[in-house]
Amino acid sequence: MATGIRDKVAIIGMGCTRFGERWDVGGEELLVEAFEEAIADAGIEKKDIQAAWFGTCLEEINVGKSGLPLSTSLRLPNIPVTRTENYCATGTEAFRGAVYAVASGAYDICLAQGLEKLKDTGYGGLPNPGSNGGTLPWQWWPNLTAPGSFAQLASAYGAKYKRSDAQIKDAMSHISAKSHVNGAKNPKAHLRKVVSKDQIKASPIIAHPLGLFDCCGVSDGSACAIVTTPEIAKKLGKKDIISVKALQLALSSGSEMAFDDWDGDHFVTTSICSKRAYAEAGITNPREEISMMEVHDCFSITELVTYEDLHISPRGKAIDDILSGFYDADGGLPCQIDGGLKCFGHPIGASGLRMLYEMYLQLQGKAGERQLKDPKLGLTHNLGGFPFMNVCAISIVGKLDA
């Protein structure tokens, strides 16, 4: 009988580069920058790492296929390195590989690292996958844009819950303003200036009702985690050990796209994935028990709807929670405390691990100016693809003895 991942694996070191338009370095340097922070944090030597998982999604100009970009950049000593790719959940997928490897007993210490170096490709948004996208997806979403698709989510949500464009825009502006307030305190974020709700509302529309600030940019960056068993972590002298409480993945079956009973207003995968994650972590009341979250705010409407799909806000009520400040840094359940995708941008392969990095810092009391008071459990959420077909990953981490 499967017993899940709860408390079977500890995170002993993490690293994260500054995100942004990193013209100053190549992908290799980004990998090294994040890794050097993590290995120093873990207090181990490179030879102690027995296997690695490398998450990179779209960018094959600066990075390329296989696990070789990681193994060669870090000069890893001929250990197994597996490349993972699962859309925007790629970073968390790499983490999942390393965590499961340790939990299985196959290895003692593993590395998960994500990287994307997108800005050199010249794209303002995500690069077109072209021939690398596969023939099947192109049949499913010909000529589709990400902002256009997520704008439809906003329309469907408004229609279902009788929320006006103005109400949705007001809530989305609050979401983005909140993230920029948080990101202004983060030296590793790309965009570090506070932006007012009025400025956000007045900014150009990308795909109605999504404006410039409702859409995250892409970016360059890398983040990584070194994991082991709690027992080994203790032997290494680690105190206040951070452990993995849940690690779940849910992918669309294709049923939403068939519009069987899905009306386009939420993410089926996130709703299912979060329930599994809470069960795995032993959480019965996520609104009360989760201390902080990093959710996939690729678009502000994604964040809004995700609050409900995570079963934190009641259906149709996320706007009320948002406007009441519940998800603000000083609210009941702070979200995007590091600034989120809005301030970091989205180097796809790295984003999931970047979110975990913030949870790790917060749980250890090392988040500096952004530090929350005594957080116990942190949740991260990635969503790759489109509302009608996507990959959802959720992880929950916390203090080992909590």
Q: Which residues bind another protein (CB under 8 A)?
A: 20-21, 124, 190-191, 193-195, 198-199, 201-204, 212-213, 215, 217, 345
By CB atoms closer than 10 A (0-12, 13-18, 19+), residue 83 is buried
Q: Which is nearer to another protein, 69 or 340 (CB)?
A: 340
Which residues, including other chains, have CB under 8 Å from residue 126's CB and lie 6 or more apart?
58, 118, 146, 218, 348
Q: Which is nearer to another protein, 171 or 233 (CB)?
A: 171
Q: Which is nearer to another protein, 91 or 217 (CB)?
A: 217
> What count of residues does the chain have?
402
Shortest CB 121 distance to another protein, Å: 13
Q: Which is nearer to another protein, 190 or 245 (CB)?
A: 190
Q: Which is nearer to another protein, 196 or 255 (CB)?
A: 196
- Residue 369 contacts residue 216 (beta carbons within 8 Å): no
Q: Which is nearer to another protein, 79 or 212 (CB)?
A: 212
Q: How far apart are CA 330 and CA 336, in angstroms?
A: 12
Shortest CB 209 distance to another protein, Å: 12
Shortest CB 154 distance to another protein, Å: 18
Q: Which is nearer to another protein, 169 or 370 (CB)?
A: 169
Task: Give me the long-range contacts of 67-75 (CB less than 8 A, separation at least 24).
Answer: 69/27, 69/28, 69/31, 69/115, 70/31, 70/113, 70/115, 72/28, 73/27, 73/28, 73/31, 73/32, 74/31, 74/32, 74/35, 74/46, 75/46
The amino acid at 134: G
Strand 377-386, strand 110-117: pairing: unpaired
Shortest CB 149 distance to another protein, Å: 18
Q: Which is nearer to another protein, 74 or 189 (CB)?
A: 189
Shortest CB 206 distance to another protein, Å: 9
Shortest CB 355 distance to another protein, Å: 20
Beta strands in 326-376 (DSSP E): none
Bridge partner list, 391: 251, 384
Q: How far apart are CA 50 and CA 116, in angstroms?
A: 23
The amino acid at 340: G
Residue 199: φ, ψ to 5°? -65, -40
- Residue 120 contacts residue 134 (beta carbons within 8 Å): no
By CB atoms closer than 10 A (0-12, 13-18, 19+), residue 122 is exposed
Shortest CB 197 distance to another protein, Å: 11
Shortest CB 204 distance to another protein, Å: 5
Shortest CB 216 distance to another protein, Å: 8
Q: Which is nearer to another protein, 159 or 194 (CB)?
A: 194
Strand 81-84, strand 51-55: pairing: parallel
The amino acid at 108: D
